[in-house]
Amino acid sequence: MDFDPELLDILRNARHIAAFTGAGVSAESGIPTFRDAQTGLWAKYRAEDLATPEAFRRDPVTVWNWYAWRRDLMRAVRPNPGHLAIAAMERLVGRVTVITQNVDGLHVQAGSSEVIELHGNIWHNRCTDCATSVPESELSADTPPVCPHCKGKIRPGVVWFGEALPTQAWTRAAEVLETADVFFCIGTSSLVEPAASLPRYARSCGRTVIQINPELTSHDEIAQYVLRGKAGEVLPALLKAAWPQVG
């Protein structure tokens, strides 16, 4: 795989890299994207119809059971070479910040130390009434579980359709774009706002934007460099090309 020598120089000279990742990165580990069809008992549902506050209020049992099924699918999933390459960048660049739309926690598993989860984390739980976080080990046997503090219903700690992104995470992401030299846009369809606006903001801040995706998206028009392919193939090759001495 050949890369523009100028791109390799940019990476070697970077002091802070931001990696913005989407569902395509997790899909390489075997996690279905929201655009994939549901399977088994869930084939009659659309993911977009279950991942909403309204759905949880209307039928909390079904929504909780769907997330329990999704968690079971993810328990055996491991980070793929794309996740590992992003984590490996930390040994090569002064600072690497991951900004992810994914809720699976795989970037942390891979070893990335600075991860901003824009859409929350599927392994977290919080009360719908008092907003208290409840670890999985303390969940009651009810469906959905009951909050040990106020007896409210426990929900997954993810951002549902129609909900605002967590203020702290969004603020941190904006701050990163003001300091990072390079902005990777990896495996994201550019369809989900407001997260999809981050590459445009990065470009407006004068950052070098690098798009990695097997398919064309609207981010291709924003990026100075477009690398066509899967993250798990492109990123390891890119790191080896930029830092051949590392192996």
What are φ and ψ of residue 172, in 5° steps?
Answer: -60, -40
Judge if 95 and 208 occupy the same domain: yes
Distance CA 174, CA 168 (A): 10
> What would the pLDDT profile of 115-167 be if each residue is shown by its tens digit?
999 999 999 999 999 999 999 899 999 999 999 999 999 999 999 999 999 99
Residue in the structure block whose two tokens are 């992810």: 100
> Between residues 37 and 13, which one has the greater pLDDT?
13
Q: What number is the average pLDDT over the span 7-28?
A: 96
Tell me, yes or no, whether 106 and 129 share the same domain: no
Model pLDDT, residue 33: 73
Query: Does the pLDDT at position 34 exceed 70?
Result: no
Burial class (CB in 10 A: 0-12, 13-18, 19+), 201: middle
pLDDT at 140: 94
From the candidates 107, 119, 124, 149, give the one annotated as an active-site residue.
Answer: 119
- Average pLDDT value for residue range 67-94: 94
Does residue 230 share a domain with residue 180? yes
Handedness of CA 109, 80, 193, 152 (dihedral sign): negative
Co-location of 215 and 244 in the same domain: yes
Residue 223's domain spans which residues? 1-31+77-119+165-247
6 three-class SS: helix
- pLDDT per residue over 217-231, tens digit each? 888 999 999 999 999
pLDDT value at position 144? 96
Query: What is the tally of structural domains in the chain?
Result: 2
CA distance 3 to 17: 18
Residues 175 and 225 occupy one common structural domain: yes
What CA–CA distance (Å, rounded) separates 191 from 247? 36
- Examine the domain organization and report whether 69 and 179 are in the same domain: no
Quick: pLDDT tens for 89-109: 999 998 999 999 999 999 999
Domain end (from 140, 158, 176): 158
pLDDT tens figures, 164-221: 999 999 999 999 998 999 999 999 987 677 878 899 999 999 999 999 999 998 889 9
Q: Do 231 and 115 share a structural domain?
A: yes
Percentage of residues in the chain having pLDDT higher than 70: 95
Q: Is 16 one of the catalytic residues?
A: no
> CATH no. for residue 146?
3.30.1600.10
Asked if 227 and 172 sit in the same domain, the reply is yes
